[in-house]
Chains A and B, each alone.
Chain A
Amino acid sequence: MKLLTHNMLSSNFVKGVTKGFPLKIMASKIEEKEVDFNPEFISRMIAKLDWPALYTAAGDIKKAEGLPETITENYESNEDFLKIAHNLLLQVEIIEGDLICPETGRKFPITNGIPNMLLHEDEVTGDK
């Protein structure tokens, strides 16, 4: 699971959870895989991100070093910034670990790089 994907996930479908975002990451296996740097794509993606959630997630996996806490102005033309974002969003892969609901502590396992966001039958709300 890439941090880009993590940025899109919430646990607000769990009974009683209002926001469920961002999910805390507890990683037991992380890999970095080289992906071609495409500044135009990264810029388009950054516009859709929740940056504070990315910053928190990077901290969870101890990769926040060098990452600005807030989004850099005119980032589209800032190659250094885009390269940091590229590495974090696309090259870092969480292979094994858990995503943790910030409100209930419910764990969602990541296995072989795939997050399991399914609920057990007794957890499913009637209206969602």
Chain B
Amino acid sequence: MTESGHLPTPDISHLSSSDYLKIYEPAEDSFLLIDALEKDVNFLNQLRPTVCLEVGCGSGLCLTFLAQILQTKALFIATDINPSAVDICQKTAQQNNISIQPILTDLVSCLGDRLEHQVDVLLFNPPYVVTSSSEVGSHGIEASWAGGVKGREVTDRLLPYIDKVLSKTGVFYLVIVKENLPDEIKDILGRDKFHCDVIITRKSGPEHLSILRFQRRHSDCNS
């Protein structure tokens, strides 16, 4: 704990403005996810996670923070569709003496089968900004924010995997803005299957951000 009572955030002094031309610069949404994880630190440590996964890791700041606050050792896998992001994520981990395994892939496409019911903590800070559909789907920095219709086009592609990859006690943290229509997201994941808590909410300029946390209602993955 620092004097302010907060857990220290990862060192990102290795990142420069030239990196932020290629990857998303950590901003309010990233720090809100960090604040949610910090708020949940005791809960997360009680879970004793073995496999943690961040989809769309960007700079790797959030997963590095998770690795720092967990008391037991775990496997940390980071995916991103942007080649610069996975490179920089690896550097962020090294800068903070953390071991993260970056993979250049689309969401979880190369992991889905082997990680079936294995992921204990899943983080996703998606491109949530409402844009036209034509802006979605690049492999560059636009991929970090352009969310298409409802700002949900990328999120909606990941949602079908949540039930498949989360372990019995697994938790899924999702960054949203209110335009993403969280009630629809809850419906898609299944209200009888997943319980949702709003961990933290913050208004930042025009954005009304929240961190949602989903957990299984039943520890039997098939129920």
B-facing residues in A1-51 (Cβ within 8 Å): 1-2, 4-5, 7-13, 19, 21, 35, 38, 40-41, 44-45, 48, 50
A-facing residues in B142-166 (Cβ within 8 Å): none
Most central of B77, B87, B103 by chain A CB within 10 Å: B103
Contact residues in A for B105 (Cβ distance below 8 Å): 117-118
Contact yes or no, B50 A9, CB < 8 A: no
Contact yes or no, B50 A116, CB < 8 A: no
Contact residues in A for B139 (Cβ distance below 8 Å): 118
A35 to B118, CA, bound (A): 23
Q: Check if A78 is an interface residue, CB within 8 A of chain B.
A: no
How many residues of chain A have a CB within 8 Å of chain B? 31
How close is B139's CB to chain A, nearest CB, in angstroms? Answer: 7
A114 to B104, CA, bound (A): 7
Q: Check if A115 is an interface residue, CB within 8 A of chain B.
A: yes
Among the stretches B17-25, B108-116, B182-190, B214-222, the one at the interface with A is B108-116
**0/1 string, B45-83, CB within 8 A of A gives 1:** 000001100000000000000000000111101000101
Q: Check if A77 is an interface residue, CB within 8 A of chain B.
A: no
- Identify which of B83, B99, B110, B114 contacts A7 (C-beta below 8 A): B114
If A45-B50, A114-B86, A118-B139 touch, does A13 touch B104 (CB 8 Å cutoff)?
no
- Identify which of B73, B103, B118 contacts A9 (C-beta below 8 A): B103
- Identify which of A7, A41, A50, A116 contacts B73 (C-beta below 8 A): A41
Q: Check if B90 is an interface residue, CB within 8 A of chain A.
A: yes
Contact yes or no, B72 A117, CB < 8 A: no
Q: Check if B42 is an interface residue, CB within 8 A of chain A.
A: no
Q: Check if B106 is an interface residue, CB within 8 A of chain A.
A: yes
**Number of contact residues on B: which range applies?**
20 to 34
Contact residues in B for A118 (Cβ distance below 8 Å): 81, 104-106, 139
A53 to B96, CA, bound (A): 31
Q: Check if B101 is an interface residue, CB within 8 A of chain A.
A: yes
A10 to B105, CA, bound (A): 11
Q: Check if A113 is an interface residue, CB within 8 A of chain B.
A: yes
Contact residues in B for A38 (Cβ distance below 8 Å): 73
If A8-B114, A114-B86, A118-B81 touch, does A48 touch B103 (CB 8 Å cutoff)?
no
How close is A126's CB to chain B, nearest CB, in angstroms? Answer: 13
Contact residues in B for A114 (Cβ distance below 8 Å): 86-87, 90, 102-104
Residue of B nearest to A118 (CB): B104
Contact yes or no, A10 B51, CB < 8 A: no
Contact yes or no, A2 B101, CB < 8 A: yes
B-facing residues in A77-128 (Cβ within 8 Å): 90, 112-119, 128
A117 to B106, CA, bound (A): 8
A113 to B101, CA, bound (A): 9
Contact residues in B for A35 (Cβ distance below 8 Å): 99
* Known pairs A13-B112, A114-B102, A115-B104 / 18 extra A-B pairs, C-beta < 8 Å: A1-B101, A5-B103, A7-B114, A8-B114, A9-B111, A10-B113, A10-B114, A13-B106, A13-B109, A44-B50, A50-B114, A114-B87, A114-B90, A114-B103, A117-B103, A118-B106, A118-B139, A128-B109
Chain B residues within 8 Å of A, Cβ to Cβ: 50-51, 72-75, 77, 81, 83, 86-87, 90, 99, 101-106, 109-115, 118, 139
